[in-house]
Amino acid sequence: MNESRETVYEFSAPLLDGRPMSLDEFRGQVLLVVNTASKCGFTPQYAGLEQLYRAYRERGFTVLGFPSNQFGAQEPGTEAEIGAFCEKNFGVSFPVFAKINVNGPQAHPLYQFLRRAKPGIFGIGRIKWNFTKFLVDRQGYVVGRFAPSTSPGDLAAAIEGLLDSR
């Protein structure tokens, strides 16, 4: 049982085009929330994230990408440049949000929540690098945190398990 009753549905953020989106729009879906970057060694994971999204979206799964420039300035582009890069290079069709901070005093409230819900190794809440992944169940609770080095494909069984449980 989750100690906090807070869920991801209580947060919102602007998309790359500036339109605000409430995460409540994803209520009832399994979510994979990922901080992304276009110039990172893990950037090819966009392809795996898109594969997961296409494989499971009809069953109620969505990937949510949150670009961040906090790690080695590996996301320097504008929102328009980020969107064009993701579409051209990886055919990304899942929602990608405007750039945010994931650590520090200016961290987006969603990431403050994610870090509290699943603080990671040794209980340190800080996001270590680009492509840290948070798995969220259909009730909006964070049920897993995965390192940047975890391949998106390695999450398929966990995603399927959450999709199969109601």
CB 152 within 8 A of CB 49: yes
Over residues 50-64, the pLDDT tens digits come to 999 999 999 999 999
The pLDDT value given to residue 1 = 41
pTM of the model: 0.92
- Annotated catalytic residue within 16, 30, 37, 40: 40
The question of whether 86 is a catalytic residue gets the answer: no
N-to-C CA span, the chain: 15
Question: CA-CA-CA-CA torsion for 139, 28, 163, 21, nearest 10 degrees?
Answer: -100
Which residue ranges in the chain fall short of pLDDT 50? 1-3
Give the whole-angstrom CA distance, residue 101 versus residue 26.
22
Identity of the residue numbered 75: E
Q: 8-164 — its CATH code?
A: 3.40.30.10
CB 61 within 8 A of CB 52: yes
Residue ranges of the alpha helices (H) in 91-155? Answer: 109-117
Contacts of 130 (CB under 8 A, 6+ apart): 35, 36, 37, 40, 42, 43, 68, 71, 74, 75, 148
